[in-house]
Amino acid sequence: MRIGIITGVEAEAKAFLAAEGGVHSVAGAFAIRSLTLGGHAINITCCGVGKVNAAMAATQMATQGVDLLMIIGTAGRLRALNGECFDVVDAFQHDYGASRDQGFAHYNAGSWPIGDAILSPFVAMPLPDIGLPKARIVSGDSFIESATQADWLRDSLAADLVDMETAALAQVATKLGLPWAAIKATTDEANGASGNDFEANLARAAAVAAAAAERVIAQF
């Protein structure tokens, strides 16, 4: 299997098979590290923060020829969950829709945001079971450090986690007819302390997510 992996920040990419240098190349705007795991060819890159960067990197990976698009790394926690690392089963873009006097109306990313909203998530490929709890993630181009906003995302989209890239990769993969997957470890509670918590917990969470991804890929 050929797997394209993206991360939002460099620490998340470096944590994956950190002891292996791989072959370094450049594809478009992205530096690629190529290696193998369990007989699978893997290209991994740090795309940078946000949905546009994630979509660009996912598209670039797809044009190189991959069988699976994957994102690994960190996320904020929106509700009390058992565990710290999660198998993401589906995703929404939480900032796509219509701003109305009555509030924000969520729509499927890329759909016509007028009239009655039809909302269904991007569904991830089932992963080998290594004991990771399942979670829904929502993504948007803002770092969430507001408990009020976090509660709204949790309640309006039945969300468990929040980040800034996963749902964009999911949209690209779905549009191109490719399966996608995500493994995310939590750094913060998406509240007023999240900025400091993210920085304090980044290295640990990146390592946890990378280790889980390595175990999953080895079982494909």
Tell me the HSE value of 70 on the side-chain side, using a 13 A CA sphere.
32
Q: Rounded to two decimals, what is the model's pTM?
A: 0.96
Using pLDDT thresholds of 50, 70 and 90, give the confidence band for residue 34: very high
Contacts for 63 with CB less than 8 Å, ≥ 6 apart: none
Q: How high is the pLDDT of residue 188?
A: 95
Compute the average pLDDT of residues 138-146: 97
Compute the average pLDDT of residues 65-79: 97
Q: Look-up: residue for tokens 């598209």?
A: 59
Compute the average pLDDT of residues 108-137: 95
Compute the average pLDDT of residues 113-142: 96
Q: Is a pLDDT exceeding 90 seen at residue 82?
A: yes
Q: Dihedral (C-alpha) 123, 186, 39, 1: value to the nearest 10 degrees?
A: 20
**Domains in the chain, ordered, with CATH?**
2-218 (3.40.50.1580)
